[in-house]
Structure 1
Amino acid sequence: MSTIIDKIAWISLNERKLLCVRSKGKELYYIPGGKRDPGEEDQQTLIREVQEELGVTLEQETIMHVGTFEAEADSKATGTIVRLTCYTADYEGTLQPDSEIEEMAWLSYDDQDRVSVASRLVFEQLKQQELLD
């Protein structure tokens, strides 16, 4: 039986590149977001996690579901699956790494070797939709 790590993620594109972040002490980038706190809905989790990681406020009325992606989790026991439920949203404020985030970067399709396995699935879809260079 596999374990599922359920995460909410924010898709932010700029000049056909995807915003990704890297946690302190980690090598791979991932799409900003994280796990729900008990009782949280997806939108609440998304808003909270993005505020904590990047210091910006998502505009709740602009949040739109993009898709859900599942892949083997990086650096976890075999059979551990990450489920990314992804949303787009506009934001207010200035993006800057905060909390456990060491670095943020706008990555293109050619950079997907720098991201987690689950994030690569998002890169693939965005490329197929011609939203990512």
Structure 2
Amino acid sequence: MKEIDKIALIEIKNRQILHVRSKGKLKFYLPGGKREASETDEQTLTRELHEELSININTNTIKYLGTFKAPADGKADGVLVKITCYTAEYTGNLKPANEIEELRWLNNSNLDIISEASKKIFEFLKQKGEID
């Protein structure tokens, strides 16, 4: 079974989770992306968030939240995405950059427009009492 390895930031504000949508895509995903050769999770998170949202992660504040697996959107049956999630503080103003067309704060009423992996993360955060 093929597995896509991704690193993502969980940013919660007003009990909603930050999501992004890439150009030409319909679904929203957590900000982050795939690791480049020999990158650590911290390096991947820092690079991806700077590229996608023009922010700088304060590496001293990165905290592991959890790892989630789900069927990968838009891929063949049997392909999974593994998303390792972190929280972190950052500097800069969130704004879409490069392949990101839109950012949006989402909640459980938006399950129809998010990835399968995001749905699992929503459920996890709801059980922890961090979102409604």
Asked whether the two chains share a fold, i.e. TM above 0.5, the reply is yes
| Distance in 1, Cα, partners of 2:111 & 2:17 | 10
**Residue number in structure 2 paired with 1:125:** 124
Q: Unpaired segments of 5 or more residues in structure 1?
A: none
1:114 Cα shift? Answer: 1.0
How far does the alpha carbon of each residue in 1:46-89 deviate from its partner, in whole angstroms, 9 at most, with x for none? Answer: 00000000000011000000000000111101100000000000
| Distance in 2, Cα, partners of 1:59 & 1:15 | 22
Structure 1 residue ranges (4+ consecutive) displaced by more than 4 angstroms after TM superposition:
none
TM-score, length-scaled by structure 1? 0.98
The code of the aligned residue for 1:36 comes to R
Structure 2 counterparts to residues 1-133 of structure 1, below 5 A: 2-133=1-132
Give the secondary structure class of the aligned counterpart of 2:26.
coil
1:20 Cα shift? Answer: 0.0
How far does the alpha carbon of each residue in 1:17-68 deviate from its partner, in whole angstroms, 9 at most, with x for none? Answer: 0000000000000000000110100000000000000000011000000000
| Distance in 1, Cα, partners of 2:77 & 2:101 | 27
- Percent sequence identity is 51
1:124 Cα shift? Answer: 0.6
| Distance in 2, Cα, partners of 1:90 & 1:16 | 17
1:113 Cα shift? Answer: 1.7
Q: Unpaired segments of 5 or more residues in structure 2?
A: none
Give the secondary structure class of the aligned counterpart of 1:86.
strand
Q: CA RMSD in A?
A: 0.6
Give the secondary structure class of the aligned counterpart of 1:53.
helix
How many residues get paired?
132
How far does the alpha carbon of each residue in 1:76-129 deviate from its partner, in whole angstroms, 9 at most, with x for none? Answer: 011000000000001100000001000000001221221000111111101111
